[in-house]
Amino acid sequence: MKILVIGPSWVGDMMMSQSLYRTLKVEYPDAIIDVMAPAWCRPLLSRMPEVSEALAMPLGHGTLGLGERRRLGKTLRNKGYERAYVLPNSFKSALVPFFANIKTRIGWRGEMRYGLLNDIRPLDKAAFPLMVERYIALAYDQQRITSAKDLPQPLLWPALAVSAEEKLTTAAEFDLVAVRPAMGFCPGAEFGPAKRWPHYHYAALAQKLINDGYQIVLFGSGKDKDTGEQIRQSLPEDVRQYCRNLAGETTLEQAVVLLAHCRAVVSNDSGLMHIAAALGRPLVALYGPSSPDFTPPLSDKARVIRLISGYHKVRKGAAEEGYHQSLIDIQPERVSAELASLLGDSQENECRF
């Protein structure tokens, strides 16, 4: 069976979608799974063994482009797709499989997609509290799975493949092959500082880890470069050489490989957090106003620290420099202790300030 998936447009969602692909390969071992998604997703999809081909979606997020979607659909008519799974909930995301005349088109109800989807699932959000559960449920007949409790256990979480040779080669390209093991920090987050652990807390943790013999590697996009520099400049000058700011300096593919190279990762709620989880890295995930209840890091090596409950729709923190007080209240000592526990250190050898 040949399957087309219309994939998500966000890093975290794309990572969680791998759980669907893994589940489909268990249900249909001979299935060929192609995923249509923005071109930037290719470095992630190429590391998902279940995906045969990544098809570029040339239209940007939020663009209807009806004529272009019709053209894309027509180009797929001779590809032999028997099923399509549409993961975004938008009307426009269901257009390509419809124009491709794919026989079975599956997805959650979303934006009034009757006719575009012919296996349309009404979504009871309380029955499927996690996004990953909603993705996985689409792999089964809707009569079989009526809530997350019906899903076969254990759930197949995302798992990206990176070879030891790739890690060594890429680390060497960035001069990260050294006596000091690397600790990854992902200090950026969408929507500004309200979702970020304060830079001075990152710096305090970095200084302790450097004193313990680690080097710190800062990851992120170009817009996170200044945040990384704030962290570096908050360190004493004599240890800054052990803190590398690679935000904006790597491709996404290089960042994936280098995160796999890190001994452990500390991250805000971000797409890179989900990548680190899928790489199986020991991970401390720091949450403030956003909630891990819907999209937590999917790894048994991840620890979530959050000091408030519920979801808070906050785009701008009220504290100094735009930080959210709940993230300010997460002290570096707490994060250090979680890292020590994840790395298997004994109680006597925990990192202490």
Grade residue 114 by pLDDT with cuts at 50, 70 and 90.
Answer: confident
Write out pLDDT tens, residues 128-162. Answer: 999 999 999 999 999 999 999 999 999 999 999 99
Q: Average pLDDT of 320-345?
A: 92
Give the residue-averaged pLDDT of 248-261: 97
Over range 92-100, report the average pLDDT. 96
| Of 100-114, 242-256, 331-345, highest mean pLDDT | 242-256
Range in 71-75, 100-104, 310-314 the model is least confident about: 310-314
pLDDT for position 178: 77
* Residue-averaged pLDDT of the chain: 92
pLDDT score for 215: 97
235 pLDDT above the threshold of 90: yes
- From CA 149, how far away is CA 48, in angstroms rounded? 26
Q: Which CATH superfamily is domain 164-349 in?
A: Glycogen Phosphorylase B; (3.40.50.2000)
Residue 64 pLDDT > 60: yes
Segment 231-235 mean pLDDT:
97
Range with the poorest average pLDDT among 113-117, 165-169, 293-297, 341-345: 341-345
Can you tell me whether residue 53 is helix, strand or coil? strand
pLDDT average, residue stretch 178-191: 90
In the numeric block, the tokens 């663009």 are attached to: 63
Question: Is the pLDDT score of 62 beyond 80?
Answer: no
More confidently predicted of 315 and 84: 84
- Sorted by where each begins, the domain ranges of the chain are 2-150, 164-349
Name the pLDDT band for 189 (thresholds 50, 70, 90). confident
Least confident range from 186-195, 227-236, 250-259: namely: 186-195
> Quick one: average pLDDT of 215-220?
98
pLDDT of residue 185: 98
* Whole-prediction pTM: 0.93
Sign of the torsion angle spanned by Cα atoms 119, 125, 131, 132: negative
Asked if the domains at 2-150 and 164-349 fall in one CATH topology, the answer is: yes
Q: Where are the alpha helices (DSSP H) in the chain?
A: 11-27, 42-45, 66-75, 95-99, 131-137, 164-173, 199-211, 225-233, 252-261, 271-278, 325-328, 332-342
Residue 34 has pLDDT above 60, yes or no: yes
Segment 91-96 shows an average pLDDT of 94
Neighbours of 41 (CB within 10 A): 23
Give yes or no for residue 352 having a pLDDT over 60. no
The correct answer on CATH 3.40.50.2000 for the domain covering 2-150 is: yes
pLDDT of residue 315: 64
CA-atom Rg of the chain in angstroms = 21
pLDDT of residue 311: 64
Determine the Cα–Cα distance for residues 13 and 78; give it in Å rounded to an integer: 29
Cβ atoms 149, 128 nearer than 8 A: no
Q: What is the pLDDT of residue 33?
A: 98
pLDDT value of residue 348:
37
**pLDDT digits 0-9 by tens, 156-169:** 999 999 999 999 99
List phi, psi (to 5°) of 260: -65, -30
pLDDT by residue (tens digit) across 282-308?
A: 999 999 988 899 999 999 999 999 998
